[in-house]
Structure 1
Amino acid sequence: MKHPVDVHVGKRIRHRRWISGTTQQQLADQVGIKFQQIQKYETGMNRVSASRLWDIAHALGVDVSFFFEGLDAALIEGDGTSMPSDILSDKEALDLLRSYYAIPENQRRRLFDLARVLSEAA
């Protein structure tokens, strides 16, 4: 059975890899493993060792702590939100995120404020 921490770390690896535009093969090459191993890490099927997580963090340009951000909230079940349990596996959500970060910062801030007001009104 997959451990929730391994699943969360795997999702964060996939998220950062996707945001940076890095393929599984490219990441695997950078850390010296096969891309299938990256797949197993991203699904939580295999646990990432500390030294491998260090290498992955370096390759993706983040601190190791990045992979643990939001872990406490992710482990809380039934938090009352309507968000899918795995938002990072939703292609539409990822496309939206990529498009959002392509918008210039001042316009992005205005769009964020609009989205917040609309969500509060719903």
Structure 2
Amino acid sequence: MAHIVDTHVGKRIRQRRWLIGMTQQKLAELVGIKFQQIQKYETGANRVSASRLWDIAESLGVPVGFFFEGLEPAGSEAAEAGNMVPSDLFADKEAMDLVRSYYAIPEAQRRRLFELARVLSDVA
């Protein structure tokens, strides 16, 4: 069974890759490995070594710490709180497509869309 940290890191790799519209094949080429290995990293089936994580971070344009963001120690209040946002939100392709589309909107219109979403969520 995969360790929770390996699974989290894999989800964050997939999240960032989807967000920038990169394929597993392209990431694998940039890192110098086979795309099947990227698949295994993203599912948490294989652990990512420190040097490989460094290469992946460079290829995806994020600091290494990005892959650990949102990881809460077991038993912590944040981990146990009934957060309304699912912990695997970015594992959902539809959610990632929505985020990518949102950032493709010009900033002024994006701000108005954000305010509309905030009002609608307050009413719900």
> Normalized against structure 1, the TM-score is what?
0.88
- For 1:94 and 1:25, the matched residues in 2 are separated by 18
Identity %: 72
Query: Which residue of structure 2 lines up, in the alignment, with residue 109 of structure 1?
Result: 111
Query: Which residue of structure 2 lines up, in the alignment, with residue 59 of structure 1?
Result: 59
- For 2:30 and 2:63, the matched residues in 1 are separated by 16
Q: CA RMSD in A?
A: 2.0
Which letter does structure 1 place at the counterpart of 2:35? Answer: F
Q: Does structure 1 residue 41 correspond to structure 2 residue 41?
A: yes
Which letter does structure 1 place at the counterpart of 2:112? Answer: R
Number of matched pairs: 122
Query: Which residue of structure 2 lines up, in the alignment, with residue 16 of structure 1?
Result: 16
What are structure 2's unaligned runs of at least 5 residues? none
- Which is further off, 43-52 or 68-77? 68-77
- For 1:7 and 1:93, the matched residues in 2 are separated by 19
> Normalized against structure 2, the TM-score is what?
0.87
Residues 23-58 of structure 1 deviation map (CA, whole Å, 9 limit, x = unaligned): 101111111111111001111111111100000011
Q: What is the SS of the residue equivalent to 2:29? A: helix
Displacement of 1:77 in angstroms is 4.3
- For 1:119 and 1:39, the matched residues in 2 are separated by 35
Moved over 6 A (4+): none
Which letter does structure 2 place at the counterpart of 1:51? Answer: S
Which letter does structure 2 place at the counterpart of 1:44? Answer: G
Which letter does structure 2 place at the counterpart of 1:2? Answer: A
